[in-house]
């Protein structure tokens, strides 16, 4: 079972409330008002952490599609990573995992702007759609479970490419027990049946490898 305690306040303000362009203007001209809202949201959301931790869930997801290249390292360090880690600490005390959803992300993020304590990285987009390979992600976060999105661009490729990529993912994570292959984006209407079947066939063939 899983549940989500909400979104990361500054990310919600930037993406859902304002949009990136308006946020950039308001951040420069009325930053104090944004910070006042962010603090109010943070205080309200903190009340949910112990409730979620005490529930029968096994893991909880915090936010979605955090984009470091849009948020920027200074705001990640000051507003996002401390909030993520605070939520993770509350859940970990009750033996629950925190899942952090993001897409394009350099493996150094967990070290340079501040270490992420989330135990589950959800919706990670590996190459060829980004500059981060699954092998790099596994090496960068040796203690994390990686829930990847099967690369969206490959749903337009041939079935042999899809099968080969699935094998490569499983081989890269062999023996780690830290890989979940999922679909977190829309798939082409005329391809999803055969693509999912191809991915599933390879997973069944390679049972026990991961």
pLDDT tens-digit series, residues 12-55: 999 999 999 999 999 999 999 999 999 999 999 999 999 999 99
Residue 6 placed within a domain:
no
At 113 the pLDDT is: 36
Q: Write the DSSP assignment of 78-131 as a string of letters.
A: IIIHHHHHHHHHHHHHTT-EEEEEESS--GGGGTTT-----SEEEEE--TTSSS
Rounded CA-CA distance 123/15 in Å is 17
CATH number of the domain encompassing residue 183 = 3.20.20.210
The closest of 159, 156, 100 to 128, measured between CA atoms, is 156
More confident call, 144 vs 50: 50
Rounded CA-CA distance 51/90 in Å is 10
Query: Could you list the residue range(s) of the whole structural domain that residue 152 is in?
Result: 58-205
Residue 35 placed within a domain:
no
Rounded CA-CA distance 124/127 in Å is 10
More confident call, 83 vs 144: 83
Provide CB contacts within 8 A for 183, sequence distance 6+. 149, 150, 196
> 146 vs 81, 101, 174, 175, 176, CA distance in Å?
18, 10, 13, 14, 10
Residue 119 placed within a domain:
yes
Rounded CA-CA distance 131/123 in Å is 15
Residue 45 placed within a domain:
no
Residue 52 placed within a domain:
no
User: Helix 31-46 to helix 20-29 angle, to the nearest 10 degrees?
Assistant: 110
At 4 the pLDDT is: 60
pLDDT tens-digit series, residues 153-203: 999 999 999 999 999 999 999 989 889 999 988 899 999 999 999 999 999
Distance of alpha carbon 90 from its chain centroid, rounded?
A: 19
Q: How many domains does the chain have?
A: 1
Residue 99 placed within a domain:
yes
User: Helix 159-172 to helix 192-205 angle, to the nearest 10 degrees?
Assistant: 40
Residue 10 placed within a domain:
no
pLDDT tens-digit series, residues 80-127: 989 988 998 998 899 888 887 665 554 444 433 345 656 566 667 888
At 109 the pLDDT is: 47
At 26 the pLDDT is: 97
Residue 210 placed within a domain:
no
């Amino acid at each position: 079972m899983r549940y989500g305690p909400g979104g990361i306040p500054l990310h919600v303000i930037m993406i859902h409330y304002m949009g990136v362009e308006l946020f950039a203007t308001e951040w420069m001209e009325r930053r104090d008002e944004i910070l006042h809202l962010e603090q109010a949201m943070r205080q309200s959301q903190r009340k949910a952490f112990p409730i979620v931790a005490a529930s029968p869930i096994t893991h909880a997801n915090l936010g979605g599609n955090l984009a470091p290249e849009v948020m920027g390292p200074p705001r990640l360090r000051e507003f996002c990573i401390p909030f993520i880690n605070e939520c993770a600490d509350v859940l970990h005390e009750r033996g629950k995992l925190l899942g952090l959803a993001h897409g394009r992300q350099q493996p150094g993020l967990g070290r340079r702007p501040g270490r992420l304590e989330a135990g589950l990285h959800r919706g990670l987009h590996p190459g060829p759609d980004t500059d981060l390979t699954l092998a790099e992600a596994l090496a960068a976060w040796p203690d994390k479970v990686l829930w990847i999105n099967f690369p969206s661009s490959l749903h337009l490729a041939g079935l042999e490419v899809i099968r080969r990529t699935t094998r490569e993912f499983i081989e890269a994570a062999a023996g780690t027990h830290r890989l979940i292959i999922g679909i977190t984006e829309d798939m082409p209407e005329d391809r999803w049946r055969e693509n999912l079947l191809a991915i599933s066939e390879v997973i069944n063939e390679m049972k026990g490898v991961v």
